[in-house]
Amino acid sequence: MSLPQIPSSLPQQYDYFQQIELSQEIRDLISTLPAEEGLISGHLHQYQGFWYPTMRIPRILATQKHFQAHDTDILLATTPKSGTTWLKAILFALVKRVHYHPHPQNIDHPLLTNNSHPLVPFLENKQQSGENQIPDANSYAPPRLFSTHLPLAHLPQSVKDSACKVVYLCRNPKDIVVSLWHFTNRVRHKSLETNSLEKVFQYFCRGMNGYGPFWDHVLGYWKESLERPETVFFVKYEEMKEKPGLHLRRLAEFLGCPFSPEEEAQGVVDNVLKLCSFETLSNLDVNKNGRLSTGVENSVYFRQGKAGDWKNYLTAEMVEQLDRITEEKLQGSGLKF
């Protein structure tokens, strides 16, 4: 069974439930969870400390139940708007470079004709209640590449029990708020009123954005990366922007596929970065005009691609409020933005 598209009339959540087959057990569970209006459509529900769009919950439960990790899998974990689209492209270009020569002029490279989202599928996107399926596990040779927005605590047990490597990308929360604000208004149904920046900001500060609270999400992976550095690689969007070559080489080492002296001499590092740059990807026909299978336009994943755009939008009061929350939440962790 495949999920129907979100109906354009946006019925209330429980009407929507009636249109898809959810077990009574899952309906009962969802009906007990705290609920809030979502920033895009429908509702968010708070499940074990994190806020999820309602229809994600059955998929998440099914993912936790059915997904079988392989020791060779690579999992990219992010909070939304942290640069997922970019890191998916980088991981794909890096790990599959034996099969696909990474170069912006290599017309056969899958990244030139596909958005990076389907190339590195989300664990929790394809899973549905009652289905014993795993996401289309890359029809390539191992390693399989997956991504997730799930917090560490909600990853399937098989991921935690395996030697699967996790790459965690996070981003300055001030840029996430601005990116999220633009994104919600791009994908929000046209019949709904536009979200104000103030509204998105206040939701974010209260932790009530999809997969939030942001700070709990980041801290889970941060602590794990300190305890198990051989398993969890932690990197910030801003660091990738500032020293992309350095962090790409670190990532390659971490994943057990370091660049050889020959590759270094041939400029493969620069070619991966050029291929995956905002300029290259955002100007591709597939990313200007294509859509994901969900119907979402690929172009919504490319806006500015810069660090520090928050300075153009957030007021001094907003900056003060968000900085204060971030400082309080991350206090003593050693993590700073």
Contact positions vs ligand PAP (CB under 6 A): 78, 80-86, 175, 179, 182, 276-278, 281, 301-305, 309
Catalytic, 43? Answer no
Nearest distance in Å: CB 302, ligand PAP: 5
* 291-to-143, 192, 300, 313 alpha-carbon distances in Å: 26, 21, 10, 28
- Other residues' Cβ atoms within 10 Å of the Cβ of residue 234: 20
Nearest distance in Å: CB 176, ligand PAP: 8
60 vs 123: CA distance, rounded Å: 8
| CA dihedral of 106, 107, 110, 111, whole degrees rounded to 10 | 70
Residue 131 Cα to chain centre, angstroms: 23
Residue closer to ligand PAP (CB basis): 22 or 74: 74
* Cα end-to-end distance, the chain, whole Å: 43
Residue closer to ligand PAP (CB basis): 22 or 115: 115
Q: Which long-range contacts (CB under 8 A, 24 or more apart) does 15-24 make?
A: 16/42, 16/54, 16/55, 21/129, 21/130, 22/58, 22/129, 23/129, 23/130
Closest by CA position to 296, among listed 187, 211, 214, 194: 187
Nearest distance in Å: CB 23, ligand PAP: 28
Q: Which of 117, 149, 154, 182 is catalytic?
A: 149
200 vs 287: CA distance, rounded Å: 26
Nearest distance in Å: CB 220, ligand PAP: 17
Residue closer to ligand PAP (CB basis): 17 or 78: 78
Residue closer to ligand PAP (CB basis): 26 or 187: 187
Helix or strand run (H / E) with residue 236: strand 232-236
Nearest distance in Å: CB 135, ligand PAP: 15
Residue closer to ligand PAP (CB basis): 140 or 278: 278
Instruction: Give the residue numbers marked as catalytic.
Output: 149
